[in-house]
Amino acid sequence: GTVSSAGDDLIINTKGNLSVKTADNSKSFAIGGRLQWDYDATESKDNEKKTDDFDVRRARIYVKGHVNDWGYKAQFNVAESDGAKGGSAEDLYINYSGFGSAANIKVGKQSEPFGLESTTSSKDISALERSALTEFYAPSRAAGVQLHGKGSNWTYGVGLFESDGDGSNDVEHTALTGRVTFAALHTEQALLHVGASFSSRDAEESADEVDSYGLEFGAAFGPLHLQSEYFASEIGSQDYDGYYLQAGWIITGESRPYKNGVFSRVKPKGPLGAWELVARYEDGDGKYSDIGLESEQRYNGKQYTVGLNYYATKNTRLGLSYMDGEADNAESGGTRFAGNELRGRFQFAF
Amino acid sequence: GTVSSAGDDLIINTKGNLSVKTADNSKSFAIGGRLQWDYDATESKDNEKKTDDFDVRRARIYVKGHVNDWGYKAQFNVAESDGAKGGSAEDLYINYSGFGSAANIKVGKQSEPFGLESTTSSKDISALERSALTEFYAPSRAAGVQLHGKGSNWTYGVGLFESDGDGSNDVEHTALTGRVTFAALHTEQALLHVGASFSSRDAEESADEVDSYGLEFGAAFGPLHLQSEYFASEIGSQDYDGYYLQAGWIITGESRPYKNGVFSRVKPKGPLGAWELVARYEDGDGKYSDIGLESEQRYNGKQYTVGLNYYATKNTRLGLSYMDGEADNAESGGTRFAGNELRGRFQFAF
Amino acid sequence: GTVSSAGDDLIINTKGNLSVKTADNSKSFAIGGRLQWDYDATESKDNEKKTDDFDVRRARIYVKGHVNDWGYKAQFNVAESDGAKGGSAEDLYINYSGFGSAANIKVGKQSEPFGLESTTSSKDISALERSALTEFYAPSRAAGVQLHGKGSNWTYGVGLFESDGDGSNDVEHTALTGRVTFAALHTEQALLHVGASFSSRDAEESADEVDSYGLEFGAAFGPLHLQSEYFASEIGSQDYDGYYLQAGWIITGESRPYKNGVFSRVKPKGPLGAWELVARYEDGDGKYSDIGLESEQRYNGKQYTVGLNYYATKNTRLGLSYMDGEADNAESGGTRFAGNELRGRFQFAF
């Protein structure tokens, strides 16, 4: 049978997801999501603790759309997964674009603008898990209001957020967080990206107040990419810092895509998919929880990661990574821990 | 590329949401939802308690559809929000329309048919929050079976519901709830609406048994609207009553829409949106929780509300309201409380 | 207005749900679900316990799709219902079909391949509830990896799953589960189906280790169908077994559909719908929880079920069933219980 619209001309698309927009792009609706199933095995050399698990890492569905200058996104967890309850929201915001792309306003639960690895989607990061440094210094999603914008080779975002991050309490203690990025060079074959972030987080006790800074660098040359971030934080009167350095090589020759200040997922050129090798080295104060150390405590450590990714289609990623690290517990008198993790992932993003 | 249907001719539409139906309207599917982000600050003058918060007020997605005489709606919360768990249902029913629009049967979790403000969607009420009276007298959603119908200028609904309202227990104690409405006048420029409701709610203890009545009046003349309800309740052997009176003026000249016994959301005529002023006065026994009084107790109070709404598009509403009230605690010997609330809202309904 | 695609030609369909695929079937997306509202009343003759309830039995929404050889399905609960939390996943898997239909690989949370009644969708089983035997012997959904395939008249599945079934713990204790089916005869008017299953489940304690076997038989002749399964289990060193026998007659003349090793839902031929009578007899060790016996314990019992189904459309089913049974508590010295259940259902599957 025929398919027509009762109103404006429509353009429909499916790439595993579904998107519908009017031909004049005045209105849109899309639904999609991501599924990540992980096997991971950790081994802590000092306390002889071994774990292994096969579990949902992320299972999310989103709907998003816009009408004229107003848009929204609601992304929620459909299963209990690592770090998230089922029936909870990730993104949940309303966006106003009436001042143009250089100055949007986003209201609601959203990623705070801080860091390169943190703002890159979990579908698109090169190693399966973010670095222990990003986990420690970068705030996660929070309820707030952000002014953000972009130009041909720059982006910025600055916002006021609930500093406890759980969006459930009051607004007495807020965080001011911001990030700017600049792509000095961005052609199909080459990229040179720099950025800087800050977050100043108020708290009930002055010992819990946080001031964090981040510097980021990204580059791509054909199938190679480099990515590095340096972070420093003052929590109360304690100082912390650290950095990571990451390199990737897409064996099958694709370039790692980049857009609006973040990297995105490798898109295979051929029907046989794309293969990627990635390596990362981290050094500094961080949250070394992936290798089995307590996530509630702060460590000064070192960690390296090697990974192999297979992008079967634009939607499908199979990944394998190995992390090995050692760290001193900065709070309990320097007890040394060492651990490693082997992780495998099946991912479908739609 | 082309878009066709494997079966009946289809008509597709997006207005921030997505709806698909067959050209003969024998089948349909739609997905949509609502996001409400609120800032609210309450101040209780007597106990010196102040709160402020920025939080999700409602975040819901629905799917609905029908095949021939049978339809369904499943509307669920995608985040923990004020009064609702994430992953919980609001509407969750199957509807039979085979006897015509004058007699539908709705089975499942649904709004009980009681009152004008209560049955008007939370997207569409004029003040940001319903009155303390509606909160007290009107039952919320419950599992049950309802016979409901409508004609050109009348509606009715009568149903049997689980009286505990949470849908989780047995059916020993039920509620019989009903409502009739009549639009004596309904043109593009003028409306005169009257209605009456009742709810008789069984309980384990006779002291918890409830009989409630409601009378409602609504009118619109061009950009003005008036709305009023009177409620009375007997809980055990205690009598309660109260009323509210609300007036609204759409400064930009639109009329407040009305359909099937309820008001709906103001739809801006021009590209600059619509502005609305609203005022409400309440007097009587009620649930004065918005201004910071304990929601579990019953109060005899007075409260006024003033509000300003900006409807940027059919989908987007920005609202600001101020409520000020004072109430005697009817149960604890007449302690007097006074409080106020300032509330701001970002709403996107799709 | 017109509707077109930005990429491949698309085919869209709605039958209460929504499905979109490219004309070459290289990509697809679908969204649908099921709603089941049940009234059930149980009566236990020995302990004088009576319950009755009107509640959600299942309320699920799914999205599924594929891109080339990779597909996914995410089906989640949108309300707290009998046995499931809201915001929890039922199916949540990624499927690889690149080796052809004879050998797919499914990774994630999924139904374990065991038994005929167990693998038949809860939308499509003839009696409203599965037998006490299936409830006892057949594993439910679990996280794992399955190799599965089908031919013109055969199917198989074999997989490794987390044996605790909740997907939240480690993978130390796994279950190996498999099933094969063969349709010796399958025409429009007649069906002869046989199948066999096994599941070997590791546990922390050897007393909790389980080895289960199942044999299944299904037949259809015009409007009649027969279905029977025999199960045996060794739990620790204890042996259990039992069988059920079910017969159905579609009064209005339709045949019970069968596809890929399972029965599916009766599809009415005429506009007045289809009516079906079903009867089932069970005898053996099982989980006689529907008639009010404790679901945590094991019983040796007998139970019969009679049911009447009305399929108003392909989507809508109204059902009524009565179960009566008696059982000895195998663990507490043979106390005899007897009970019955009356159940009515409104179902919309989309």
- Over residues B227-249, mean pLDDT: 96
- The range of the structural domain enclosing residue A328 comes to 40-56+112-349
**Domain presence at residue A63:** no
Among A26-30, A345-349, B20-24, C162-166, whose mean pLDDT is lowest?
A: C162-166
What SS3 string covers chain B?
Answer: CEEEECCCCEEEECCCCEEEEECCCCEEEEEEEEEEEEEEEEEECCCCEEEEEEEEEEEEEEEEEEECCEEEEEEEECCCECCECCCCEEEEEEEECCCCCCCEEEEEEEECCCCHHHHCCCCCCCCCCCCHHHHHHCCCEEEEEEEEEECCCEEEEEEEEECCCCCCCECCCEEEEEEEEEEEEECCCEEEEEEEEEEEECCCCHHHCEEEEEEEEEEEECCEEEEEEEEEEEECCEEEEEEEEEEEEECCCCCCCEECCEECCCCCCCCCCEEEEEEEEEEEEECCCCCCCCCCCCEEEEEEEEEEEEECCCCEEEEEEEEEEEEEECCCCCCEEEEEEEEEEEEEEC
Which residues of A fall within a CB distance of 8 Å from B7? 1
Test B33 with A63 for CB contact under 8 angstroms. yes
Q: 23-52 in C: which are within 8 Å (CB) of B?
A: 23, 31, 33, 35, 37, 39, 51-52
**Domain presence at residue A9:** no
Which H helix or E strand runs over A187? none
- What is the number of CB-based contacts under 8 A between chain B and chain C? 155
Kindly give, in sequence order, each residue whose CB lies less than 8 Å from that of residue B35, ignoring residues fewer than 6 positions away.
A72, A74, A92, A93, A94, A108, B56, B58, B59, B346, B347, B348, B349
Predicted pLDDT of residue C167: 47
Which residues of A fall within a CB distance of 8 Å from B87? 86-88
SS3 call for A49: strand
**Domain presence at residue A253:** yes
Predicted pLDDT of residue C334: 63
**Each residue's pLDDT tens digit, B91-118:** 999 999 999 999 999 999 999 999 999 9
Test A1 with B5 for CB contact under 8 angstroms. yes
**Domain presence at residue A287:** yes
Contact criterion met (CB below 8 Å) for A210 and A201: yes
The residue that leads in pLDDT, C187 or B52, is C187
**Domain presence at residue B343:** yes
Test C70 with A35 for CB contact under 8 angstroms. no
Test A2 with B10 for CB contact under 8 angstroms. yes
- Domain holding C224: CATH number? 2.40.160.10
Write down the mean pLDDT value for chain C. Answer: 93
* Residues, chain C: 350
Cα–Cα dist C139/A54, whole Å? 18
**Domain presence at residue B10:** no
Predicted pLDDT of residue B290: 85
Among A228-242, C275-289, C306-320, C324-338, whose mean pLDDT is lowest?
A: C324-338
Cα–Cα dist A18/C188, whole Å? 36
Kindly give, in sequence order, each residue whose CB lies less than 8 Å from that of residue A65, ignoring residues fewer than 6 positions away.
A27, A28, A29, A30, A71, A72, B14, B16, B17, B350
- Over residues C215-226, mean pLDDT: 98
CA dihedral B346, B350, C6, C10 (to 10 degrees): 160
Report the number of distinct structural domains present in chain A. 1
CA dihedral A109, A114, A116, A118 (to 10 degrees): -50
In C, minimum Cα distance to B75 occurs at C78
Q: Does C82 touch chain B (CB under 8 A)?
A: no
Q: What is the ipTM of this complex?
A: 0.95
Cα–Cα dist C257/C259, whole Å? 7
Q: Which chains does A contact via 3+ CB–CB distances below 8 A?
A: B, C
**Domain presence at residue C166:** yes
Tokens representing C130 are: 């599965």
User: Pairing mode, if any, of strands B104-111 and C210-221?
Assistant: unpaired
Contact criterion met (CB below 8 Å) for C274 and C268: yes
**Domain presence at residue B208:** yes
Q: Does A172 touch chain B (CB under 8 A)?
A: yes
Contact criterion met (CB below 8 Å) for A75 and A62: yes
Predicted pLDDT of residue B67: 96
Kindly report the backbone phi and psi dihedral angles of residue C119, in degrees, each rounded to the nearest multiple of 5, phi listed first.
-85, -10
Test B7 with A20 for CB contact under 8 angstroms. no
- Over residues B23-38, mean pLDDT: 97
Kindly report the backbone phi and psi dihedral angles of residue C259, in degrees, each rounded to the nearest multiple of 5, phi listed first.
-160, 135
The residue that leads in pLDDT, C288 or A256, is A256
Test B1 with C8 for CB contact under 8 angstroms. yes
Q: Which DSSP string do the residues of A313-336 spell out, in sequence order?
A: SSSEEEEEEEEEEEEEETTTT--E
Write down the mean pLDDT value for chain B. Answer: 93
Beta-carbon-side half-sphere exposure of residue B147 (alpha carbons within 13 Å): 5
Test A35 with C170 for CB contact under 8 angstroms. no
**Each residue's pLDDT tens digit, C122-159:** 999 999 999 999 999 999 899 999 999 999 999 999 99
The tens-digit pLDDT sequence of chain A (350 residues) is 999 999 899 999 999 899 999 999 999 999 999 999 999 999 887 667 888 889 999 999 999 999 999 999 999 999 998 878 999 999 999 999 999 999 999 999 999 999 999 999 999 999 999 999 999 999 989 999 999 999 999 999 999 999 875 545 568 889 999 999 999 999 989 999 999 999 999 998 889 999 999 999 999 999 999 999 999 999 999 999 999 999 999 999 999 999 999 999 999 999 999 999 999 999 999 998 888 776 566 678 999 999 999 999 999 999 999 999 998 876 666 677 889 999 999 999 99
**Each residue's pLDDT tens digit, C54-107:** 999 999 999 999 999 999 999 999 999 887 899 999 999 999 999 999 999 999
Q: Does A105 touch chain B (CB under 8 A)?
A: no
Which segments of C6-69 are extended strands (E)? 10-13, 18-22, 27-44, 49-67
Tokens representing C137 are: 């012997």
